Amino acid sequence: MSVIDILFRVDSICKKYEKYDVEKQGSQNASSDDSFARLYGWFESQIEAVLHKSEMVAMETNRAAMVAMNAEVRRTKARLMDEVPKLQKLAQKRVKGLSMEELEVRKDLVLALPERIQAIPDGTAAKQAGVWEASTSHKNIKFDTDGQFDDDFFQKSEESNQFRQEYEMRKIKQDQGLDIISEGLDTLKNLAADMNEELDRQVPLIDEIDTKVDRATTELKNTNVRLKESIFKIRSSRNFCLDIILLCIILGIASYLYDILK
Amino acid sequence: MESAAVLAKEVRNWKELSEFSRHASELYTECGRSQPASDALAKGARALEDFAPEEAIQLYTDACDALEEDGKEQMAFDLYRAATSVYIKLEKYADAATFLLRLALAADKCNATHSQCKAYLSAIIVHLYAHDFQQAEKCYNDCCQVEAFLNSDQNRAASRLLSAYTEGDVEEIKRAAQSSIVSNLDHVIVKLARKLPTGDVSAFKMDTKDQEEPLDEDDLT
């Protein structure tokens, strides 16, 4: 037979003889009839999960993960503690098919539960009794630490001393730098303000220059137009060409005389 | 006329120089040109600074008046500053301070707040240099009435200086005087500031204490 066949056979045999399985009967009965047993079963499963988690914490090396898991463990524990009163109430109730002895047993179980829950390690168990007695009034405030408040936790180690010194040195250097920058900025501000005022002073002067130059340009324009007109008049008549010709003749005569005299 | 003044300068004939300058400025004013008028006076004054400072100051004042009449206070700043430097050379500190306040007034009219605050601070320093702490304080209180001065860096520098004086702390005075704000003032004033404190500073501490007692008596009665 192959493995699969074996598995199937085992399953079918189990199903056949289920009614002889005490545990399963017990849990089935609990799930259908007894709310106490149901709740108790749920409790058991929660406690197992929490125990498993705390074991994982013990194996964990990453401190942040440790802290997170411890916090979760504590949360679950707190929830369980809250649910315990409910369980106690249920334990008082009488259920059909249950003998007096079993009732007593249930009560004892319920009583034992809180202790079991508290016993689950969550990283603060070691110091809880001693250190936090003073702060019993602040029950709602919980410090999310690992609880390793040994004596030299808060003592200055060498490293922290060095860090502090370095920090102070850097602060002093920054202050010096900022002083220099502020002086430079003062000078800049002064220069800028002076420039501002100087420009304000120049504005009316430039306005005056503007008007004067405008006047001068208009005058020039007028003069140019008139000059153009007069030249045009001269050019239109023949006098212009005649003038040039006569000028050349005179220059020729002058050079001739100059040559002769030389 | 101006050329005549220049020639007179060459010859070092001071009286004539000032006369020529005045005449030139009068002629300019008649033409309605105030700027050249004040320029003529200023040139004369500059030439006379070394030799007849009183006359120079007179010319400067006239020049400033001419400009102010015409509403051109902006141009007067330089003239005021030159006049104050002459006064300081003559060691007439009260007059110098008065001139600085006139400068501040002119600056106020033109809304030149920076110049105005610098003028106030310079006036306070001049008073302190003259060893006249009461005057300096009065000056400071007057200046605090002016809003523009109240909100300026110069105000802070002035209050620092005065508080250093009241405490009689020489180191603090020196530090306040070397600060960059004071170094931005006119160089003549900066020279004065560097020389602060003059005389005995602890005397000022006594003065302020004496002043307080009569006030207390008045309050009680």
pLDDT for the residue A134: 46
In this model, does residue B213 exceed pLDDT 50?
Answer: no
Mean pLDDT across chain B, nearest whole number? 76
Mean pLDDT across chain A, nearest whole number? 80
Closest-approach residue (CA) in chain A for B183: A187
Are the beta carbons of A200 and B153 separated by less than 8 Å?
no
> Coil, helix or strand for B61?
helix
ipTM: 0.73
In this model, does residue B212 exceed pLDDT 60?
Answer: no
Chain A residues inside the 8 Å CB shell of B184 = 186-187, 190
Are the beta carbons of B110 and A200 separated by less than 8 Å?
yes
In this model, does residue B40 exceed pLDDT 50?
Answer: yes
DSSP 8-state secondary structure symbol assigned to residue A146: -
Min Cα–Cα distance to chain B from A217, Å: 23
Q: Could you give the count of Cα atoms lying within 13 Å of B46 in the half-sphere of its Cβ? A: 13
- Is B119 touching A (CB cutoff 8 A)? no
Q: Decide which of A26 and A224 is more confident.
A: A224
Facing residue for A200 by CB, picked from B72, B112, B184: B112
Average pLDDT for residues A14-35, to the nearest whole number? Answer: 68
| Amino acid, single-letter form, for residue A190 | N
- Cβ(B103)–Cβ(B115) below 8 Å: yes
pLDDT tens readout for residues A69-119: 888 888 888 888 888 888 788 777 766 666 777 777 777 877 887 787 777
Percent of chain A with pLDDT over 90: 22
Structure tokens at B168: 């009689």
Are the beta carbons of A186 and B153 separated by less than 8 Å?
yes
pLDDT tens readout for residues B79-115: 888 888 888 888 887 788 888 888 888 888 887 888 8
Determine if the pTM surpasses 0.80. Answer: no
Instruction: Assign A212 a pLDDT band (cuts: 50, 70, 90).
Output: very high
- Cβ(A62)–Cβ(A71) below 8 Å: no
Min Cα–Cα distance to chain A from B182, Å: 10
Distances (CA, A) of B66 to B54, B71, B82: 19, 9, 16
pLDDT for the residue A41: 82
Structure tokens at B32: 């309605």
Q: How far apart are CA A23 and CA A25, in angstroms?
A: 5
Average pLDDT for residues B116-120, to the nearest whole number? Answer: 84
pLDDT for the residue B146: 76
3-state secondary structure string across B125-157: HHHHHCCCHHHHHHHHHHHHCCHHHHCCHHHHH
B positions 47-106 inside 8 Å of A (CB)? 72, 74-75
**Nearest CA among B172, B157, B166 for reference residue B201:** B166
pLDDT tens readout for residues A79-92: 888 888 887 887 77
Average pLDDT for residues A48-55, to the nearest whole number? Answer: 84
Are the beta carbons of A186 and B180 separated by less than 8 Å?
yes
Count the residues in chain B: 221
**Nearest CA among A112, A100, A105, A119 for reference residue A37:** A105
In this model, does residue A190 exceed pLDDT 60?
Answer: yes
Distances (CA, A) of A140 to A78, A135, A136, A183, A217: 12, 10, 9, 54, 91
- Is B115 touching A (CB cutoff 8 A)? yes
Structure tokens at A41: 């079963």
